Copies of this chain bind each other. A is one copy, B any other.
């Protein structure tokens, strides 16, 4: 009953089946997948078809392949997908803008959620963030944002943000300057005080600074 869909392309089916296989076999990040030849037999497909699926996943950065060794499940956070997609997509301003905007949707919500959650507000994270931003050491924007997203506790939102950040790369690549640090500090203080509006406003101000510095 499973082979009842000849309409869809085989290699897409394989992609799905690989996903099931990974879950069923409980293959974790860094662990090895069955060899291409074994997969071909187990999934009832030719090796070329298996390879098309694997190569696709490799370009997405979901798997890593080492000649002579095998295929390994990789951490989706570090895909080189960015290069390829960037090259294809950078030309279209609108879609890139969608990505940035969608990132900010998640960021803003994380800030608001952190402000509203008493337990989250009392995390030691905020003090260490304050210390880092107040110091002379360089502070990477994406680190700040990521910490807040982690603290906010929505893992799905965090993952989506991860992907988009890797995809877009630009906005948070560098370090925060003095003006930004000031906005960040204000944001953190507002979060700790449970001042949702203040936190959101500070975040928006910071985002504007970043956007402006990006010089678009």
Q: Which residues of A contact B (CB under 8 A)?
A: 9, 11-12, 15-16, 19, 22-23, 48, 51-53, 55-60, 62, 65, 76-77, 79, 81, 84-85, 87-92, 94-95, 98-99, 101-102, 105-106, 108-109, 154-157, 159-160, 163, 167
A51–B48 alpha-carbon span in the complex (Å): 9
Closest CB-CB distance, A172 to chain B, in whole Å? 17
**Which of B22, B91, B95, B108 sits near A91, CB closer than 8 Å?**
B22
Cβ-defined contact, A156 with B99, below 8 A:
yes
Closest CB-CB distance, A195 to chain B, in whole Å? 16
Dominant secondary structure at the A interface: helix
Q: Which residues of B contact A85 (CB under 8 A)?
A: 60, 62, 76, 81, 163
Q: Which residues of B contact A65 (CB under 8 A)?
A: 9
Cβ-defined contact, B105 with A157, below 8 A:
yes
**Copies of this chain held together in the complex:** 2
**Which of B9, B101, B156 sits near A102, CB closer than 8 Å?**
B156
**Which of B16, B52, B79, B95 sits near A52, CB closer than 8 Å?**
B52
Cβ-defined contact, B94 with A155, below 8 A:
yes
Q: Which residue of B lies closest to A164 (CB)?
A: B156
A60–B163 alpha-carbon span in the complex (Å): 13
Q: Which residues of B contact A60 (CB under 8 A)?
A: 56, 59-60, 81, 84-85, 88
Closest CB-CB distance, A109 to chain B, in whole Å? 4
Q: Which residue of B lies closest to A83 (CB)?
A: B16
Cβ-defined contact, B55 with A76, below 8 A:
no
Cβ-defined contact, B23 with A91, below 8 A:
yes
Would A155 and B98 be within 8 Å (CB), given that A84-B15, A160-B160 are in contact?
Answer: yes
